[in-house]
Amino acid sequence: MTPDLAETVALQALTHMLNDDAVLDRFMALSGSGPDDIRANAADPAFLAGVLEFYLGNEVQLLEMCEAVGIAPELPMQARFCLPGAVRE
């Protein structure tokens, strides 16, 4: 996984989120981000890491997103480790 591929995976997740009002509303409620924040930060790797963290925290939404965008379920976790703020144990 490269940082560029990680950002691509996160952008796919963000795009999926933006097309699902229930998921988007949950993300905004949990993150405190509003529509303007999302627009302003969509290209920020740290923000994209937060999008992946959001999906990784809910297996059902993670699997739905992966199926919808056509990626393997393990890719979001791999991508998360390539973006800022990842903690490795």
Calculate mean pLDDT across residues 59-72. Answer: 96
User: Can you tell me the distance from the alpha carbon of 59 to that of 72, in angstroms, rounded to the nearest whole number?
Assistant: 13
| Residue 69 forms part of a structural domain | yes
| Residue 55 forms part of a structural domain | yes
With beta carbons less than 8 A apart as the criterion, state whether 83 and 45 touch: yes
- The residue written with tokens 């490269």 in the block is 2
pTM above 0.85, yes or no: yes
| Residue 42 forms part of a structural domain | yes
Domain containing 61 equals 3-80
What would the pLDDT profile of 18-50 be if each residue is shown by its tens digit?
999 999 999 999 999 999 999 999 999 999 999
Calculate mean pLDDT across residues 57-78. Answer: 96
| Residue 56 forms part of a structural domain | yes
Name the domain count of the chain: 1
